[in-house]
Amino acid sequence: MAALSESASPEAAASPEAVFHDEKHASYLVAVSKNTEAIEFVLTEYMRMSGVYWGLTAMALLGRDVHKEMDGDAVVAWVLRCQHPCGGFGGGEGHDPHLLYTLSALQILALLGALDKCDGAKAAAYVAALQQGDGSFHGDEWGEVDTRFSYCALSSLAILGELWNRSPPLIDVAKAVDFVDRCRNFDGGYGAVPGAESHAGQIFCCVGALAIAKRLDLVDGTLLGWWLAERQCDSGGLNGRPEKQADVCYSWWILSSLTILGRSHWIDEAKLAAFILECQEGDGGGVADRPGNMADVFHTFFGIGGLSLLSWFDGTAYAGRPAIDPVFALPAPLVAELGLEASVCPRATASLLETWARARDEAKATPPPSP
């Protein structure tokens, strides 16, 4: 079982056994951003805001000048055209506002140094108005509830500097935290709503939201860390829930959660890095979900983000790139510049094997309950 293997040393994780196609990835990301005639662009136009965020952030993690190479001025102008009078942003021009795309828009503007160009007060008011009485957030006016939206709301307000700086506060953070906590399951994971199945994507959103709210004390780090580590497959890749295939995107969702919890060393980091590298498209650039599949901007971002979290670039010819922040999913220097704060647990001193052995011994030593 991959999750029970001893984690690789940082040196092993940083030693590339495959080529990282740096220039090809950059060329791919630039081409994707400009090829508006491609069928892939047309089919995903409704979520273009998130696609632009993925591409820009991936380029930033490659150490590129995103403003210059991705036509930053044009991107900023387009993002501003996607803001509605209510303050929220749509996934593209003419699309309804939604929390998902509002966060992506704010992340883009932050990356391009243009946060001050949008109507931040209206954006914050839009986010706050979506909070419900139980602490949850609707994604938009149509009322869907999902822990993704809890993360989007807290992250958006933090980026805008409106999470803690208002009196009275714009949202009830305590209620938001309580809703997320009620989505915790017996296995330590989190679902989309209370009672929903644990899923790695939802876990990142819940752990990230609690980190921003500085309430990681509510997370059972050992139990959740075990569940997350169990997601590593024999290939070295990670899946999102039991009995599913490995997918590069979980290199982000799971590894970021483990990093926040101080337990990234509970998986075989070298095998994960090798899996990500194997998913590269060697000819045209980009990263796919699995080896041999077609690359897309979504998996390219999460693949590069996963390598960044693994510190894979350190000690290689690609050293010196900005690291990614595990909570805000933005380059760490930008997070520091914006003054964004979140809780991150210190690295656990015990390995997964040691933790498992201790729990086993404690269980054996505990006398059975009286009949």
pLDDT, tens digit (0-9, with 9 covering 90-100), for 164-189: 988 899 999 999 999 999 999 999 99
Per-residue pLDDT tens digits for 255-274: 999 999 999 999 999 999 99
Per-residue pLDDT tens digits for 208-248: 999 999 999 999 999 999 999 999 999 999 999 999 999 99
Looking up tokens 């990301």 gives 29
Confidence of residue 39 (pLDDT cuts 50, 70, 90): low
In the chain, % of residues over pLDDT 90: 81
pLDDT > 50? residue 87: yes
Question: For residue 152, how many C-alpha atoms fall within 13 Å in the half-sphere facing its CB?
Answer: 30
Q: Is the pTM of this model over 0.85?
A: yes
CA distance 338 to 327: 14
Per-residue pLDDT tens digits for 269-319: 999 999 999 999 989 999 999 999 999 999 999 999 999 999 999 988 888
Instruction: Retrieve residue 286's tokens.
Output: 């980009």
Task: Check the CA dihedral 318-322-323-329 and report its sign.
Answer: negative
Encode the chain in three state secondary structure: CHHHCCCCCHHHHHCCCCCCCHHHHHHHHHHHHHCCCCHHHHHCHHHHHHHHHHHHHHHHHCCCCHHHHCCHHHHHHHHHHCECCCCCEECCCCCCECHHHHHHHHHHHHHCCCHHHCCHHHHHHHHHHCECCCCCEECCCCCCECHHHHHHHHHHHHHHCCCCCCCCCCCCHHHHHHHHHHCECCCCCECCCCCCCCCHHHHHHHHHHHHHCCCHHHCCHHHHHHHHHCCECCCCCECCCCCCCCCCCHHHHHHHHHHHCCCHHHCCHHHHHHHHHHCECCCCCCECCCCCCCCEHHHHHHHHHHHHHCCCCCCCCCCCCCCECCCCCCEHHHHHHHCCCCCCCCCCCCCHHHHHHHHHHHHHHCCCCCC
CA distance 193 to 310: 30
181: phi then psi, degrees, rounded to nearest 5: -65, -35
pLDDT at 18: 65
Average pLDDT, the chain: 92
pLDDT at 4: 37
pLDDT at 359: 79
pLDDT > 90? residue 361: no
The structural architecture, per CATH, of the domain 22-346 is Alpha/alpha barrel (1.50)
The two most distant CA atoms of the chain are separated, in Å, by: 73
pLDDT at 360: 75
